[in-house]
Amino acid sequence: MPTPGLDHPHTISLDVNVPLRRLVGLAKIRWRIEHDYRELKTGLGLDHFEGRTWSGWHHHVTLVSVAHAFCTLERLNPKAPAAA
């Protein structure tokens, strides 16, 4: 149950000596993870697999992961041409 007054409580299991800066960084990375997952599903077709075998699913997820890595590298490449 959420604590009154806290909008987004987080459950963590780290050492009590972890610096506050590290905790804040871990909490902020959640947005990046959710963004990437949404891109994998909607933009690259992670959820489009309708096969029945584990190996087929594994191949599909591997190709989607490679496509995501390529898109990320292109987005971070300062020499890449700008999108039209």
Is there a domain that residue 13 lies in?
A: no
Q: How many domains does the chain have?
A: 1
pLDDT for position 26: 82
Is there a domain that residue 41 lies in?
A: yes
CA–CA gap between residue 74 and residue 36 (Å, rounded): 15
CA–CA gap between residue 78 and residue 61 (Å, rounded): 28
Is there a domain that residue 82 lies in?
A: no
What's the pLDDT tens digit per position in 33-67? 999 999 999 999 999 999 999 999 999 999 999 99
Which domain does 56 fall in, by range?
20-76
What's the whole-model pTM score? 0.63
Chain-wide mean pLDDT for the chain?
A: 85
CA–CA gap between residue 8 and residue 25 (Å, rounded): 15
**Start-to-end CA span in the chain (Å):** 47
CA–CA gap between residue 15 and residue 1 (Å, rounded): 23
